[in-house]
Amino acid sequence: MTEPRRRSPRQASNRAVTPLSLILSIIYGSIAAFVFCFSGSFGTFSQALWRDIALLTVTVAATASLTYISLLLIAYGRRAAVEGGDPSEFEWHLLVPCRDEESVIAATVSAARTSFPNVHVWVIDDDSEDNTAQIVRGLMDFDVRVHLISRVRPAARTGKGDALNTAYEQVAAYIDQDSAVRERAIIGVLDADGFLSDNALELLAGRDGFGDEEIGAAQLEVWMKNRGDRKPRPQHGWWRNALGRYLIRMQDIEFRTSNSAMQLLRVQTGTVGMGGNGQFTRLTVLDALAEHYGQPWGRKLSEDYELGLNILSLGYRNHYLRQAHVSQEALPYFRRLLTQRTRWAQGIMECASNLPTLRRSGTLSPTGFLEIHYFMAQPWIMMLNLVLIPTLLALAVLDGSPGFLTDTATTLVALAGLVFLVLPYALWGPLYRRWGPERRIGFLSAVGLGLGYLVYVYFTYLYYPRAILRMVTGRTGWAKTRRNADDLQPARLPVPTLEHLPLLDVRELAELAAELEGHDEYALEVVSAYALMWPTRLDNLAAAVAAEDSLRARDAVGSIRVSSTMIGAHRLPAAAEAFAELIDEGDFDAGRRALDPVSSIGGETIAEIRRRFSDDLPTGRH
């Protein structure tokens, strides 16, 4: 077994945060000590030992929390230029774990392959019971860089980590065994609904990414791609749609501000964590993990965070790029969000068992040691606050503590509480507007979003108790979170009869081949590219309609119409024209219903292309 890489703990930090942390701790500690111990609002200090211990515990917790939040705000406010690199210097492979993802997988694969022509996309079908595998095989007919890895029960559905390990074995065998080639191979992980920003690979290839040989893995910022949806729950009324819009926007704020700030702080402390979507790792690092731990990904519920900890333990550096992002669906359903976050919280707490190995590795800096242990302790600290603060307040009322809710000191305490409990969270709304970037949001709206985010943050007091209860009762099984589109019932909208129009006119393809210097293979390339691009075009149209954005919708319709006309697919442009009339009338509800017939005609067109050219297609099936 190869020895883990060793690097000086000082190399783990780009900036010295220790002096600032110390100064903030003294300031906040003094304020917290006054509020909890000496103001009298929570009872008289030094009269009862157990109350003194409780007051000191709450004081320390408040000091740590406020110091941490302040460091996050400072880290988020720092702007650093990032230099891109040449993606062609690396070999890129994207792993996409799937289980019953027929509603999103075509668009994800299409977007990845059309945006990044040199990447390989490996879809891991975890014994889906829907048409996921069939959809991927259909795309493989047109693209040799799309691959399908099929898992079958009982070996399937044993966790995302196991699915990724299966893919790693196949990809590792597929890539040339030459060490120089493997050094250049980068393995990314996307959710089944994950879309990479156009600059993602360029920045990952730069000096702030894998252009730095010490970086073993990198994580991209996460955005919510449905943040503009006007009716995220189109089958329900205005109230549930308003709640859905609120939850979606809060998740976007969460990932693009406070979560991003946490990762930016971790860049300084050398403890960047990996996420389940938009993580990229060197193949050689995965090889080292497999040699050291038996397999790269573990079996914890947060296999992504566990991966990051194990990479750090081998002496590699994780990095975070805020200037590139991966987009995913936010959940507009509170119950599903609660379930998802409870699972994440439980998975993070499970990773505490990795800390002894990380400590023994000697790769953590002092600030990294503090950051990672504080992060892991947060659920327990929150539970202490949830119990101790209401208990101390209740006892103060029952004891008739001097001046409770009456004197000047208590008024100051209330004001301090307002400032220190509300402001640190409410600030994320204006910061989201300033640096999100969401400049279209007005300042007052941003303030309102910040106050809404304050409420959203306190939802964690629902997640963590449930996660702790599941841990202590030994429950680790979870049902898959359903996609938003899984709830939609297609409703056909009457459209003009189009059967008289051909799905595909091969004569026009022959004319196209003649224009392309008579080479039939060029025409074949065109129809293959069209088939691969179709899911992206349809998804662009669906997203524009969901956001009720007339300009984007017209552009999406125009793209469908022009590209389809070029290859002689006459029925689809006619359907697009009918759809455009709905957009011009501003009838987006009808547009939502009309998406299904457009999708059906598009699917029939692709099937016709496959039938006509089946013998000549550059099939990727293997």
Tokens of 94: 């994207």
> What is the Cα–Cα distance from 319 to 263, expressed in whole angstroms?
8
Task: Let me know: does 105 contact 199? Beta carbons within 8 Å.
Answer: no
> What is the Cα–Cα distance from 505 to 525, expressed in whole angstroms?
16
195 vs 617: which has the higher pLDDT: 195
3-state DSSP assignment of residue 31: helix
- Residue 358: CB atoms within 10 Å: 20
Determine the pLDDT at residue 622: 46
Is the pTM value of this prediction over 0.85? yes
| Mean of pLDDT values over 353-357 | 93
491 vs 395: which has the higher pLDDT: 395
Strand arrangement of the beta sheet that strand 279-282 belongs to:
146-151, 120-126, 91-98, 185-189, 279-282, 215-224, 317-328, 195-196
Determine the pLDDT at residue 48: 78
Task: Convert the pLDDT of each residue in 567-619 to its tens digit.
Answer: 888 889 888 988 999 999 888 988 888 899 899 999 999 998 888 776 655 55
Percent share of the chain, pLDDT over 90: 51
Beta strands per DSSP E along 152-226: 185-189, 195-196, 215-224
What distances in angstroms separate CA 242 from CA 24, 250, 280, 334, 591, one per listed residue?
39, 12, 35, 12, 20
Instruction: Summarize the chain as % helix, strand, coil (round to 5).
Output: 60, 10, 30
Enclosing H/E stretch for 326: strand 317-328
Which DSSP letter does residue 247 get?
A: H
Give the count of alpha carbons within 13 A of 327, CB side only. Answer: 17
Phi, psi of 323 (to 5 degrees): -80, -10
> What is the Cα–Cα distance from 606 to 622, expressed in whole angstroms?
21
Instruction: Report the amino acid identity of residue 227.
Output: R
What distances in angstroms separate CA 300 from CA 160, 356, 383, one per listed residue?
9, 16, 22
> What is the Cα–Cα distance from 592 to 463, expressed in whole angstroms?
34
Determine the pLDDT at residue 10: 39
Task: Let me know: does 230 contact 546? Beta carbons within 8 Å.
Answer: yes
Beta partners for residue 243, in sequence order: none
Quick one: which of 533, 516, 517 has its CA closest to 609? 533
Task: Convert the pLDDT of each residue in 14-52 to its tens digit.
Answer: 455 667 777 878 888 888 887 777 777 777 777 778 888
Residue that the structure tokens 């890895």 belong to:
149
Determine the pLDDT at residue 178: 85
Bridge-based pairing of strands 215-224 and 317-328 is parallel
Determine the pLDDT at residue 486: 58
- Exposure string for 365-387, b = 16+ CB within 10 A, e = fewer: bebbbbbbbebbebbebbebbee
Sign of CA dihedral 153, 109, 567, 117: negative
Task: Convert the pLDDT of each residue in 499-517 to its tens digit.
Answer: 677 777 777 766 766 666 6
Quick one: which of 559, 346, 300, 323 has its CA closest to 464? 346
Q: Which domains are delineated in the chain?
A: 87-363 (3.90.550.10), 498-613 (1.20.120)
Determine the pLDDT at residue 496: 57
Phi, psi of 564 (to 5 degrees): -70, -40
Beta partners for residue 279, in sequence order: 189, 219
Degrees, nearest 5: CA angle 178-182-187: 155
Q: Which of 40-54, 194-208, 447-461 has the lowest mean pLDDT?
A: 40-54
Task: Let me know: does 289 contact 295? Beta carbons within 8 Å.
Answer: yes
> What is the Cα–Cα distance from 103 to 327, expressed in whole angstroms?
16
Determine the pLDDT at residue 8: 43
| Mean of pLDDT values over 306-334 | 95
- Band of pLDDT at residue 234, cut at 50, 70 and 90: confident
